[in-house]
Structure 1
């Protein structure tokens, strides 16, 4: 199955095509072929947690529902795992290549169905209650209860995707209360200041960025080391700086993260913005595990500069209309 990841603006483009908006005319062919591919079971457009998040921030109910309608139709509620469970497996595999253990790296299902796949059992999910029926539903024909349960799941999934900022605010959460993006910007500003103060250029910037990233993932690395009977101090004592850089690069999603961050730090005229947070945390997983990623031109350029497309055999596009060629080629093979 061909897996195609769309960032938020690309979903908006297809939603405009689906609703006949004049700005969506150039994407009509892409939508038509996408629908055909999904109907044939040959193509999947998985959503990640950040699509739920970005969609829920959209205030206008009608425009949000237009996007959700397109997401539901093309994704079929296919979803991708969160970054950190995937990172745990990537660390285990990197340690196995380095030390020959763990014998059994942790397993993660990259793709699945719905928010429960994303939440990995951490969500309090409503179950179908048949207690009001005679015999607690025992009289239902075989298979009907499972069909009803599936319908309940689908309804809950759709409600989660359609929920807007007013719904979240009514449940005690406001998007404006989240400061992750701003904290991300402040952190990258500190990194940029350190790079400038030390006059770092070229590969030295890459080393500095990866060093700061290793600080971010240190708890996950320490946990993985504990699983193979090694302390963090033993690991650091036995590895060179070059070896540590190679270890970080051997973690696929962190490699992509640091390609993006390094490229941005080289372009000092472009300041870090809160919107960068969503891209830097969202794009690494699909860039590694999907076949096609359609995102902003700046990130396509930077990911290609970092040879991410070659390293992970990923097609990178900045225009969802170009999906037509990909889908035509896929259908011919």
Structure 2
């Protein structure tokens, strides 16, 4: 489906993008795996070595950033082989430097506010600015930065002042410690560490379980569409309504309450509801991908599809280049989202290499 020409996206003013002019490049997990194969000399990795070299050069030039998302952490935790997780995590660390995109839920909140500003022709002074990019898993989860406990009742300033070899040695220790913790989170545990972690409540299946529940919800919609085929002609309307009622309704109600408004002040009919929902950039990408997935009736919904939709709904609007699988690339191109969002979306690492060479 092509993008409606009458749609004005509500870009969130409180989402602060980098002011350094660096270009943001998002790679889906499969393409990180291909780079890891090239880095480790895997028998199928030879073809990806030019891309790995180009990506390394681009990252070292500091003209490009290759951020990770929360989806990367969740998907990587699902890889059973610790060695493979470690190989992929090593490349991710080297190239991304643990730069991360803000969590999807926070971006959705800022987009809701921007969409309401557009409806009411107001500003949102009660909303604080939030950086699109940050460092580590904490930013990817929308939380405060990683805190390292140093001494009971002490502060980092006090520890820094007392540290052997001086404050600079303390700063180096703290930076190395934080990087070690981030590396450990991204790589996940070794087989020997798993029993102890499980005994303390660690469960690596939580993210995939939630994704599976959401995939089942989409399977139920597919079944209903088969039972009530009259809705096929209104599929996008159905997906829009489900997004509004299931994905963002709590955020929307809170934002309206903060403004002393109600849902009836925003959505008065089908057209206003459609315009409001699809004015949010991540919502438009989400709806386009879900709509297309339901139209592909030969492929059942899987948990990986949920990961892909969540990741792309943030990456496509807020990165300069997105490297994803072929079908998703086709969907977003058909919807003309690259032009609307000033983003390029490509399906191969070879395309990424060409893009970097042409910048």
Query: Same fold by TM-score, threshold 0.5 exceeded?
Result: yes
Which range moves more in the overlay, 121-130 or 321-330?
121-130
**Structure-2 separation of matches of 1:281 and 1:135:** 40
Rate the CA distance shift 1:185–1:103 in 2: closer, same or farther, 3 A.
Answer: closer
Moved more, 73-82 or 159-168: 159-168
Separation in structure 2 between the aligned mates of residue 315 and residue 164 of structure 1, nearest angstrom: 36
Deviates more, 1:64-73 or 1:144-153: 144-153
CA deviations on 1:128-180 (whole Å, 9 max, x unpaired) are 4597x999725643433222211111111111111148545354233345521
Per the normalisation by structure 2, the TM-score is: 0.84
Aligned twin of 2:44: 23
CA distance in 2, matches of 1:13, 1:229: 51
2:105 alignment partner in structure 1:
84
Matched, 1:42 2:33: no
Name 2:11's counterpart in structure 1: none
- Structure 1 counterpart of 2:91: 70
Q: How many positions carry a matched residue from both structures?
A: 326
TM-score normalised according to structure 1 size:
0.90
Q: Which residue of 2 aligns with 1:232?
A: 263
Do the aligned partners of residues 156 and 23 (structure 1) sit closer, same or farther apart at CA in structure 2, a change above 3 Å counting?
same
Change (3 A) 1:38 1:122: closer
* Structure 1 position 269 matched with structure 2 position 298: yes
Which moves more between the two structures, 296-305 or 164-173?
164-173
Q: Conserved in 2, the CA contact under 8 Å of 1:192 and 1:265?
A: yes
Offset of residue 101 of structure 1:
2.5
* Structure 2 contact 26–322 (Cα < 8 Å) conserved: yes
- CA–CA distance in 1 between the matches of 2:259 and 2:160? 51
284-293 or 118-127, which deviates more: 118-127
CA contact (8 A) 1:128 1:149 kept: no
Runs of 4+ in 1 over 4 A off after TM superposition: 128-131, 133-136
Instruction: Report matched runs for 1:244-323 at 5 Å.
Output: 244-323=273-352
**Local SS of the residue matching 1:192:** helix
SS at match of 1:126: coil
CA contact (8 A) 1:57 1:164 kept: no
Match of 2:23? 2
Counterpart position of 1:188: 218
Say which of 74, 79, 84 aligns to 1:53.
74
- Measured at CA, do residues 134 and 307 of structure 1 come closer, stay the same or move farther in structure 2, by a change above 3 Å? closer
Cα distance in 1 for partners of 2:164, 2:76 equals 41
Q: From the superposition, tell whether residues 162 and 58 of structure 1 become closer, same or farther in structure 2 (CA, over 3 Å).
A: same
Structure 1 counterpart of 2:179: 154
Whether the aligned pair in 1 keeps the contact of 2:146 and 2:178 (CA below 8 Å) is no
Match of 1:208 in 2: 238
- 5+ residue gaps, structure 1: none
Q: Is the 8 A contact 1:127 1:149 kept in 2?
A: no
Moved more, 83-92 or 161-170: 161-170
Residue aligned with 2:148, SS:
coil
In structure 1, how many angstroms separate the alpha carbons of the residues matched to 2:115 and 2:159? 55
Q: 2:142 aligns with which of 120, 141, 146?
A: 120
Return the alpha-carbon distance in structure 1 between the equivalents of residues 61 and 144 of structure 2: 33
Whole-angstrom CA distance in 1 between matches of 2:342 and 2:302: 29
Determine the C-alpha separation between the residues in 1 that align with 2:138 and 2:80.
25
Contact 1:210 1:248 in 2 (8 A): yes
Instruction: For residue 195 of structure 1, give the secondary structure of its aligned residue in structure 2.
Output: helix
1:326 aligned residue: 355
